[in-house]
Amino acid sequence: MSVGILGKKIGMTQIFDENGKMVPVTVVKIEPTYVVQKRVPETDGYSAVQLGAVQVKKTTKAIAGHLKKAGVTSVKVFKEVRDEKIAALETGDRISLDTFAVGDFVNVTTKSIGKGFQGVIKRHHFSGGPASHGSMFHREPGGIGSQAGGKGCRKKVRKGRPLPGQMGNKNVTVQNLQIVDIDLENQLLVLKGSVPGGGNNVLTIINSFKKSPNLEWKVQKAGTEAANAAAAKDEAVKEEAPVENVADETAEPQPEVDNNNNDEKKNN
């Protein structure tokens, strides 16, 4: 059984536990996460829920029609969480952060930081050749072909051979991260350790199958007072505060200019 929620990585910091030990943590801002669609074995062959998060003002007609069926406002990030026990979930429900508790363990999946095209030393930790004169190879991978001759010898590059190429920018999952704090008012989740990706990366957070396998979905039903209040709070946060023209009190006062006296002096 798996339960999940979506959030954005804010960054890393450190806290101190009751014994005074420093603990590195990652702070995650939980985005309003809604059940957009249910996958059932009768039509899809498996059981899962499609979650949507990250509010946007504009979207395509196809996505707008997909969201209209669930009664969800525009979102741009969709993730699936497979679970057999989804009978109590309905489209339009909002996933509650109190599904998780302090001390639970979670798995975090996101896209790692892209590092571009890299050689074998950085990408696969090759040792390389001597840097002195005459090594003939310094940071090159060396020969990549199979041994020539012999019965059954394949004269081609074997599949899986470590070679230069694109590094990073792949979906990565870090397992068994412990929740050390939860801020329900500000919708913050504090995880022990680091998670992949850069700031503002969207994270898929599900319960750990190894250490917290028995968590259950907790949702705010669509149309209830709790769900309406949460939606109103999200809209209030998105609204930009009006900008007022406030005078700089620290600036030195400028002397007043009497234009009438200046005109009299010119006439004289």
5-14, 64-73, 142-151, 169-178: range with lowest mean pLDDT: 142-151
The pLDDT-based confidence of 221 (bands split at 50, 70, 90) is confident
Model pLDDT, residue 233: 64
Q: Which of 1-5, 30-34, 134-138 has the highest mean pLDDT?
A: 30-34
Separation CA 265–CA 175 (nearest Å): 84
Q: Tokens in use for 164?
A: 């230069």
57-71, 123-137, 167-181, 196-210: range with lowest mean pLDDT: 123-137
Residues making up the chain, counted from first to last:
268
For residue 13, what are the β-bridge partners?
Answer: 25
- Model confidence over 25-46: pLDDT tens digits? 999 999 999 999 999 999 999 9
- The torsion angle over the Cα atoms of residues 18, 19, 23 and 25, rounded to 10 degrees, is -10
- Model confidence over 76-88: pLDDT tens digits? 999 999 998 888 8
Mean pLDDT of the chain: 84
> Is pLDDT above 80 for 213?
yes
> Is pLDDT above 50 for 248?
no
46-60, 197-211, 212-226: range with lowest mean pLDDT: 212-226
- Average pLDDT of span 124-139: 84
- The 3 state secondary structure assigned to the chain is CCCEEEEEEEEEEEEECCCCCEEEEEEEEECCCEEEEEECHHHHCCCEEEEEEEECCCCCHHHHHHHHHHCCCCEEEEEEEECCCCCCCCCCCEECHHHCCCCCEEEEEEECCCCCEECHHHHHCCCCCCCCCCCCCCCCCCCCCCCCCCCCCCCCCCCCCCCCEECCCCEEEEEEEEEEEEECCCCEEEEECCCCCCCCCEEEEEECCCCCCCCCCCEECCCCHHHHHHHHHHHHHHCCCCCCCCCCCCCCCCCCCCHHHHHHHHHC
Separation CA 217–CA 78 (nearest Å): 18
Overall fold of domain 4-114+170-238: Elongation Factor Tu (Ef-tu); domain 3 (2.40.30)
Instruction: Tell how strand 34-39 and strand 48-55 pair up.
Output: antiparallel
Contact present, 40 and 28 (Cβ < 8 Å): no
Contact present, 107 and 196 (Cβ < 8 Å): no
Q: What percent of the chain has pLDDT over 70?
A: 79
Model pLDDT, residue 85: 86
- Average pLDDT of span 18-22: 93
Q: Where are the domains of the chain?
A: 4-114+170-238, 117-167
Separation CA 188–CA 97 (nearest Å): 9
- Average pLDDT of span 141-147: 76
Separation CA 23–CA 30 (nearest Å): 21
Give the CA distances from residue 259 to residues 222, 256, 262, 266, in Å, rounded to whole numbers and listed in that order: 67, 9, 5, 11
- Model confidence over 100-115: pLDDT tens digits? 999 999 999 999 999 9
Give the CA distances from residue 214 to residues 106, 163, 179, 190, 217, in Å, rounded to whole numbers and listed in that order: 12, 42, 16, 21, 10
Contact present, 1 and 208 (Cβ < 8 Å): no
> Is pLDDT above 90 for 238?
no
> Is pLDDT above 80 for 118?
yes
Model pLDDT, residue 194: 95
